[in-house]
Each structure stands twice: as structure tokens, then as C-alpha cells.
Structure 1
Amino acid sequence: MNRRNFLKNITISSTATLLSTSGCSKCDVKAKIVVVGGGAAGIDAAARLMRTLSNPDITLIDPSQLHYYQPGFTLVASGVYSPDEVYMQQADCIPTGVKWVKDSAIAVNPDKKFVTTANNGKFNYDFLILTPGLVLNWDLVEGIDEKSIGQGDAFCLYTHEGSIKTRQGILKFIEKGGRGVFADTYTKHKCGGAPKKICLLTEHLARQQGVREKMKFDFFTASKQLYNVPYFTPRLLEIYNERNVSVNLNTHVKAVDTSAKKVTLAITKRSTKTLADGSKKEVKEISTRVEDYDFLHFLPPMGAPKFVIDSGLSIKSGKNVAEGWIAVDKDTLIHKEYKNIITFGDASALPTSKTSAAIRKQAPIAVENLLAIMEGKEPTAKYNGYAACPIITDYGHVLMCEFDYEKREQRSFPLSLLDMSKESRLAWLLKVYALKPMYFYGMLNGLV
């Protein structure tokens, strides 16, 4: 048996063990539950509820024909996965017994308790699981949109098609050489490690092909630091320095001129101003500069879907208010105002990373608290902010970053046996061979 099949079988057998040993008491409460969103969060929650409720009445609203394993997009762009390895038919992912409405939610009325869809009218609910995912706001980057990705050697791997085009662009870049510009964005965004991963993987490929000397690599982050989890940051900075990849802080892409292959960068300068009452306030000054590139990988700003914002369910204050994330209690995953709404995943305002690893830990907490509310009990389960970001540092090694709300490192077996502050081969094997089957056969069945 080869290594790929061995790890896949380990994952599936572990999942089967969980299923056979995780007996839980049934909940007899009858209620109409609507799930908005058929991504990892919505399907995981629906699967758990189908297994727990004696008389489930669950409707899931999602328009997708295919279900993508989005953590695999970086591996498509880097040539590790083929494009057809990262999706399944959505119909095969929806839990048996769940009523699937293949449509888009366009409004939520939390006071009258119904969801409006684009083509199938209204759906009343007693309880709502609001997990619609986020949207890529292409219109906030001048000169380029989703359809024009790839033109002028400007790429973004955050869609399936985009990951395929990025792969083609990387191969061209390796062949011709020049300057590679890699950037994240200023909003909260999903898989914050992906821009770092594709930068390091492309640089490693250049070294493997013996063409590194004719290439320049520059990484730009809108953040104040390369990474905000202290346990992992020193090694990540060392890797960038060792590989001669420049790190530029407080900078994001404002515009792209694909015909001229020029990128406009917005640079934020932060300073502290003392007010009349003696308090201090951070002041931001933004300047721009235009730079040439031969290969560009960037992220558009991201936010909650418009219907969420229009429904009045978003946060009302804070530095990310313009992004529209759903207001949620960070411990219980219950909406701040409407206690019959559960929300988690990418569209929520949870102050942690937007990753599938985070969702894997959020889903059981969300479902446990929903069941408590349905039974008239106090919700007591608490989410500690766990998230994980497997930062691929080269073809063969991953720095597995696990952390909580307080940015303290977390340790999961078997990686806890190693020095987790360093990249490892074992983490690479888990990332490439184990996490995808665990996602499709574990998470989407509400088992891990």
C-alpha cells in the first residue's frame, strides 16, 4: 500500500471509529431548522443534527452544483493536486434526510423568522444556522475582476478556476523569470496563510528548476507583522530571510494595470495622536506607489454577503464593521441579538482565523448549544478560538500553526510529538494526504 492510500485509510478508519463510539442521546424536540450555506460549516452542522434529532426537519439553502475543498486550491496552484481532486458533487455531500433547496438566500427577516430565496420564495424557521460563507469583493481592486484573472500575469488562487490559472502563471514565471509580487489584503480573509504558501512554493520551485538567480520575490502584507502568532512567527521570518524573499508590512494592492503589468500599492503609516483629554488614538496615513511586476498574486478584499448586511445581522461597531461580519458571541456561537440564530464559519465575526480547521472545532460547539436552546436549557459549550493554518514552506515541509483566541499555540497529536515551532515532513504528509479525506469523509459527515 502506498503512502497516500495508507494515510487515507487511516483517516477513514478513524472516522468510522468515531461514528461507532460517539453515541449520544437523541433530542426529541421538534423544530423547523433552516441552514443557509452549504459549505463546510453548514453541512457539518446539518449532519450532526440529523444524527442527533429524533424528528429532524432541516432545510439547507445553497445554490452550488459542486462542493470544493478550498484548502486544496493552493495545492492545485502549486501542482501537487490536479484540479479534479478538490471537489465533489454537492448532492453527494448533503446529508441524507436534509431537504436541499438549490437556490441562493437573498434576505433574512430575523424578527419574522424567515429566509427569502432568489427563486423559491420564503422559508420559515424556528432556528436558523447562518453559515453563508464570505464573498470576494473584486470591485474593491481597480482594474481587475474575477473574469480577468490571468490577464497581464495577475492571479488569485481563491477560486477553483483561479487556482488553475495560477498554476499556469507560475510555470510561465518560472520559465521567463523576473519579479514576483505576492500580496494579501487589508480585510479579514479566509485562509490567511495561502498568500504566504504560494509565495514560498513558487520560490522553492524556482530553486528546484535551477532558475532562482533570475528571479526576485517580494511579499506584501497589509498587517503590522508577517504573522501574529508569536510562537510561529520567528521561524517564518527566518524562512523568508533564508530564501531572500523581502517582507513588506502595512501594504496592500489597490489597483492593477494588467496591460502595463503595474500594480498600485497602498501603504499605511500608523502613528499615535494624543487627544485633548489625554487619551491616545491611532492615526493612519495612506500613500500609494506604482511598481512593475512580472508575476502578481493578490487577494481582493473580503466580506460577508450583501444579504447578511441588509438583514441587519452584522456587527455594528469595531474596526471590521465595513466588512459586515455576522455579530456573534465568540464563546457560544449564538447571534448577539437573536438567540435562535447560530452562526460560525467564514461569515461570522469570530475573532480568529477563517479556516476549515477552525470550522471543525466550531461545529460541535454550535450544534451542542443549539440543542440546548431547543430544549430550553442554558447553552454552556464554549469555543476557545482554535484555528490552524498549515503554512507550506516548501515541497515537503509544513509549519503547522495551531492557536486559540489568545494567539497561544495549541498542540494536536501526532505533531505534538515534534517541535511545532519548526516546519516538518510529517505535517506535509498530513496536509497533502490526510486532511482532504478527513474533510470529505469526516467533517462533511459531522464526525471530526
Structure 2
Amino acid sequence: MTMDPIAAVTEEFSITGQLLPEDMTAIAAAGFRSVICNRPDGEDAGQPPAAQIVEAARRLGIAFAHLPVATRDIAPADAAAMRGALAAMPGPVLAFCRTGARSRAIYEAAMKAGGSAPGVQDVVIVGGGSAGLACAASLLKRRPDLSITVVEPSGTHYYQPGWTLVGAGVFAPEATSRPMADVMPRQVRWIRQAVTAFLPEQNRVRLEGGSELAYRALVAAPGLKLDWDAIPGLARSLGQHGVTSNYRYDLAPYTCDLARRLTRGRALFTQPPMPIKCAGAPQKAMYLSCHRWERTGALAGIDTEFHTAGAVLFGVPDYVPALMSYIQRYRIDLRLGSRLVSVDGPAGVACFEQSGSDGLRLVERRFDMLHAVPPQIAPDFVRVSPLADESGFIAVDPATLRHPRWSNIFALGDAAATSNAKTAAAARKQAPVVAINLLAALDGREPVAAYDGYGSCPLTVERGRIVLAEFGYGGKLLPSFPAWLLDGRKPTRRAWFLKDRLLPPIYWHGMLKGREWLARPQAIGVGR
């Protein structure tokens, strides 16, 4: 008797008609690792019982399951059993019945019930930073039985908003890091590799070793790239010669050491063109250093300059008056339209390209301390991927955070091509939006939740006081508290208490655990 033709339903699941024990050798040679029988015993005369087939399959190392169904009208319990088998058995899988029709029907019923094909995860999340883990937690909060894989090469998770306070001597460096295994949700599968390519047409991502992961839905949250090498001389000067940056875990303590030791000379602080993560961070390092010098009586002997590539001090005008009062108080030389283009660490010289009424010119400035912030771009594999827009970041609808071309792909965090401030606070608000809309996509529905562009930047203007900037798309103010309780446009001790005492535990024990405090998303079409 000739075996019926095999029909591929997906790359990992195929169907065929009645199989015989002697067919198992050919099935193994074809590469199938599992077989599911969906035919009841005794349905036809001469039909071999499933027990005979399973014996032959197991001799060849093929996994076998007997899940009989009598008709193509699949009961929910049968669909659930098929779903469980597909999740547990190694792929590729071959299922059979009399003609293959019932096997196809039960497979489709399992998929509608939320199941995944063998080897196919419900969700693959690229990136185990703030955005990726918060999204994983939000998904599991809503649907605990999802199969989720997080792809993240780093073994350490960092609370990056804390590095500003490490640079000021307020936090110890180790308070801002934890082993990745300690913060990864227990229910997810963690693959400690890097992604090298997105393959959206095949619903796959490629890993650095060349293997691929298949998904039903993808969340892209790989962060951005700090392009230290874009400024000649900067990378090799970091950590010595008075050159530092709070944008690196290992360098933030050096910022504190430099500010503590400097009593006379020139301190330069830089900010590159947007987009960058936490647009206020370059200023925070400067204000906290100046406040230290003010307290120790050294401020008068230090010439402080702030070189920003932007045309304004801060992008949301409501917060500029408070910040300008500190620019004046600390006697900071504010240089707008000034971009760092090279560093000579041993010579203590930084070169800037400055714009003026006469065009661009190069200006060299000697320094005793240089806090440098590098240009920031999308990761290399993102920029060359089909997911990227003209900016190099991942294209998404700014409200739903869904890719405009592939309805099962979402992005959040620093890698998303949205105009919001790239902050952990933004990721905290984006995570539930992506979770809700992704689950809707898995269920065959349209997105229902909207992100309003919220971002927060606690601008530490002195030790003990913060200007709490909270705003959304278009610079619209989106305060979390009434003005009588906390007016973010003014430097307050309450905002400092929030940053210093409350936000770290909210991050570790709230955001990364799916507790969406003050982060409930709004429905599409509903204004805040």
C-alpha cells in the first residue's frame, strides 16, 4: 500500500492520510520528529491500531500521540488537547487521519484557541531591557498561558535612570544592576543570544548562531546604539584624561570622582542631536556637578560650558524658565547649536562644530573635565531590516505601536520610530498598550489601546530638587499629579523624593512585574 502524499500546512506542521507501521522509516527519513494520529481505532476494516504505529515510531525515535476525533466539527476539549501536544512535541510534526482533513481541522481549531504550531512561539520579544521585560510582564498578566521567548544577549539588567545619581554620588553603582535571570519573568523562555535579522515575511527572527525563531507575534524592543566611535578620539579617551559619561554603567562613578576632585579649571558638558535616550540626562550631570561645586565653594573657580546641538535648552517650553534660572545661578556658558566632533583626551582638547550667523565654524576648547554624550542611532541589524523607516528606527503607528505593514509586529522603547522622549517612563506607558494590542492581533481583532506619547524626564537641577518634566506628543503637558501636590514646572523636593526613593522600587517591583501603576492605557480615540 502506497503512503498518501504529505501536505505542508506550515513549515513545522504537515498532514497526510492513514499511515502504517512500515511507513515510519520513510517518515523519519523525511525529517519528521513527531507523529499525531487523529483517527479513532476501528473506524475501518483493516485499519492498524494506533498501538502498532506508536511501537514502530518509538523504535525510530519519533514521538507519537493518539488524539482521535470522529468528525471535522472539533470540540473545545479536543482542540485543547491538540494544542497541548503541539506545544510539547518536537517539530516538525506530521498528523494523520483517514484523508488528512480532520487533522487539518483540529490543527486550525487549536490555533483559534490560542495555540501555536510546533516550534512556533506565541510571542517573541527581541530585547530584555526595560521595554522588553515590561511588555512580557504585561502580556503574562493578561494571558498567563502564552508561550513567550525573550531574546537578550546580556546577563545583566540595568536600571539606567539611576546612573545620573551614581554620577552624583547618591546611588552606588551596584544598586542599578541585577542579574538578568533575576528579573526575567519565570514563565518565559530566555535565549541568551543576539538577533541578527528580522524576517517578517516568514514570521521569524535570525539569531547570531544562524538558527531562527518562529513566532505568531513579534515585539521589537532592542534599544538603541550608543555610537561612541562617531566622534573621533572619544572612545579611546573615555575613563581617563578627565573624559567621562553617565551613559555607561562603568563610567558614572568616574563622573562623580572627577566632579569631586575638580576645584579649578574648565568643565564641558555636551549633548548630541536628537534622538537620544533621556534628553535631560546631559543637563542633569551638569547641574549636579555644579551644585557640588557650589556647596564646596569651588564654583567660582570653574568655567562650566554646556554645548548642545539643539537650538533650545529643552524641547518643551514650559520647563525652560526653571532650567534657565539654574543656568544663570551656576554661571553656565550655554552654547546652542554646538556639536562635539572630536576629542583629544591626552591634550585635554575638545573640538566643536558651532552654527552662527556666519555659518558653521570649528571651535577648540580646552578642558579639565568633559562629560560627553555620544550620538545615538538604531542598532545595525535594525537599520538594514525591512522593519525600519527612513530614520533607521522601527516604523510604528504612533498610537497603537503596531508596524504599518505587518499587523503582528509591534515595537516599543528606544528602538521605535516615535517622536516621544526615549525614557523608561515612556516604556512603562507603552508596555500595556503593546500588550493589549498584540493580544487583539492574536485574536484576529484590530488594536484597541492608544499611547499618547507620554515621557517623563526628572531634571535634577540640584541635589534635593527636581524639575519633573512630563509631556506627550507635541509637547503637551501630561502631569501625573495635580499642581497643588507637585508642580513639575518648578524645582521641588517632592519630585526628588519620587526620583530618589519611589521610582527605583516602582521599576524593579512594579514595571518589570506587570504592575501598571499610573500606566493604564487609554482607548483609541479617547483623549487624555
5 Å-filtered alignment, 1:423-438, equals 423-438=491-506
- Residue of 239, 258, 283 corresponding to 1:150: 239
Q: Which has the larger radius of gyration?
A: 2
Instruction: Name 1:360's counterpart in structure 2.
Output: 428
Instruction: Name 1:9's counterpart in structure 2.
Output: none
Would you say 1:33 and 2:118 are equivalent positions? no
Contact 2:237 2:344 in 1 (8 A): no
Instruction: Name 1:207's counterpart in structure 2.
Output: 294
Would you say 1:231 and 2:318 are equivalent positions? yes
Give the Å deviation of 1:433. 0.7
Contact 1:150 1:169 in 2 (8 A): no
Provide the C-alpha distance between the structure 2 equivalents of 1:226 and 1:237, rounded to a whole number of angstroms. 8
Q: Which amino acid aligns with 1:349?
A: A
Give the Å deviation of 1:148. 3.6
Give the Å deviation of 1:30. 2.8
Q: Which amino acid aligns with 1:253?
A: L
Instruction: Name 1:169's counterpart in structure 2.
Output: 258
How many positions carry a matched residue from both structures?
400
Q: Deviations over 1:328-371 (max 9, x none)?
A: 11010001222111101001111010000111111111111111
Q: Which amino acid aligns with 1:410?
A: L
Instruction: Name 1:124's counterpart in structure 2.
Output: 214
Contact 1:29 1:53 in 2 (8 A): no
Contact 1:28 1:55 in 2 (8 A): no
Would you say 1:296 and 2:386 are equivalent positions? no
Q: Deviations over 1:186-228 (max 9, x none)?
A: 1310011111011010000001111111111111111110011
Instruction: Name 2:360's counterpart in structure 1.
Output: 286
Q: Which amino acid aligns with 2:371?
A: H
Contact 2:486 2:495 in 1 (8 A): no
Provide the C-alpha distance between the structure 1 equivalents of 2:336 and 2:489, rounded to a whole number of angstroms. 22
Instruction: Name 1:106's counterpart in structure 2.
Output: 196
Q: Which amino acid aligns with 1:168?
A: D
Seen in structure 2, the aligned counterparts of structure 1 residues 157 and 420 have a Cα distance that, compared at 3 Å, is closer
Q: Deviations over 1:108-149 (max 9, x none)?
A: 11111211111372111111000000111111101121x541
Q: Which amino acid aligns with 1:185?
A: P
Provide the C-alpha distance between the structure 1 equivalents of 2:267 and 2:219, rounded to a whole number of angstroms. 41
Provide the C-alpha distance between the structure 2 equivalents of 1:144 and 1:298, rounded to a whole number of angstroms. 8
CA RMSD of the aligned region, Å? 1.6
- Residue of 265, 269, 283 corresponding to 1:182: 269
Would you say 1:64 and 2:138 are equivalent positions? no
Give the Å deviation of 1:415. 6.1
5 Å-filtered alignment, 1:298-447, equals 298-316=372-390, 321=391, 324-413=392-481, 417-447=485-515
SS in 2 for 1:29: coil
Provide the C-alpha distance between the structure 2 equivalents of 1:422 and 1:50, rounded to a whole number of angstroms. 38
Contact 1:78 1:167 in 2 (8 A): yes
SS in 2 for 1:384: coil
Provide the C-alpha distance between the structure 1 equivalents of 2:317 and 2:279, rounded to a whole number of angstroms. 16
Provide the C-alpha distance between the structure 1 equivalents of 2:162 and 2:378, rounded to a whole number of angstroms. 22
Contact 1:180 1:216 in 2 (8 A): yes
Give the Å deviation of 1:312. 2.2
Q: Which amino acid aligns with 2:242?
A: D
SS in 2 for 1:379: coil
Instruction: Name 2:304's counterpart in structure 1.
Output: 217
Instruction: Name 1:277's counterpart in structure 2.
Output: none
Seen in structure 2, the aligned counterparts of structure 1 residues 229 and 154 have a Cα distance that, compared at 3 Å, is same
SS in 1 for 2:448: coil
TM-score normalized by the length of structure 1: 0.86
Contact 2:486 2:494 in 1 (8 A): no
Q: Which amino acid aligns with 1:378?
A: E
Q: Which amino acid aligns with 1:379?
A: P
SS in 2 for 1:124: strand
SS in 2 for 1:126: strand
Provide the C-alpha distance between the structure 2 equivalents of 1:267 and 1:296, rounded to a whole number of angstroms. 17
Contact 2:467 2:491 in 1 (8 A): yes
Give the Å deviation of 1:269. 4.5
Percent of aligned positions with the same letter in both sequences? 35
SS in 1 for 2:201: coil
Q: Which amino acid aligns with 1:244?
A: R
Q: Which amino acid aligns with 1:329?
A: D
Would you say 1:50 and 2:121 are equivalent positions? no
Seen in structure 2, the aligned counterparts of structure 1 residues 120 and 441 have a Cα distance that, compared at 3 Å, is farther
Contact 1:28 1:54 in 2 (8 A): no
Provide the C-alpha distance between the structure 1 equivalents of 2:300 and 2:510, rounded to a whole number of angstroms. 44
SS in 1 for 2:414: coil
Instruction: Name 1:16's counterpart in structure 2.
Output: none
Contact 2:351 2:365 in 1 (8 A): yes
Provide the C-alpha distance between the structure 2 equivalents of 1:54 and 1:426, rounded to a whole number of angstroms. 37
Instruction: Name 2:350's counterpart in structure 1.
Output: 263
Seen in structure 2, the aligned counterparts of structure 1 residues 38 and 172 have a Cα distance that, compared at 3 Å, is same
Gaps of 5+ in 2: 1-111, 117-121, 517-528
Provide the C-alpha distance between the structure 2 equivalents of 1:50 and 1:423, rounded to a whole number of angstroms. 38
State which drifts further: 209-218 or 406-415.
406-415
Contact 1:169 1:295 in 2 (8 A): yes
Seen in structure 2, the aligned counterparts of structure 1 residues 148 and 294 have a Cα distance that, compared at 3 Å, is closer
Provide the C-alpha distance between the structure 1 equivalents of 2:475 and 2:297, rounded to a whole number of angstroms. 38
Of structures 1 and 2, the one with the larger relative CO (CA 8 A, separation 6+) is 1
SS in 2 for 1:181: strand
SS in 1 for 2:418: coil
Seen in structure 2, the aligned counterparts of structure 1 residues 389 and 28 have a Cα distance that, compared at 3 Å, is farther
SS in 2 for 1:125: strand
Gaps of 5+ in 1: 1-26, 272-284
Seen in structure 2, the aligned counterparts of structure 1 residues 98 and 420 have a Cα distance that, compared at 3 Å, is same
Q: Deviations over 1:372-408 (max 9, x none)?
A: 1111111121111111100001011000000110212
Q: Which amino acid aligns with 1:370?
A: L
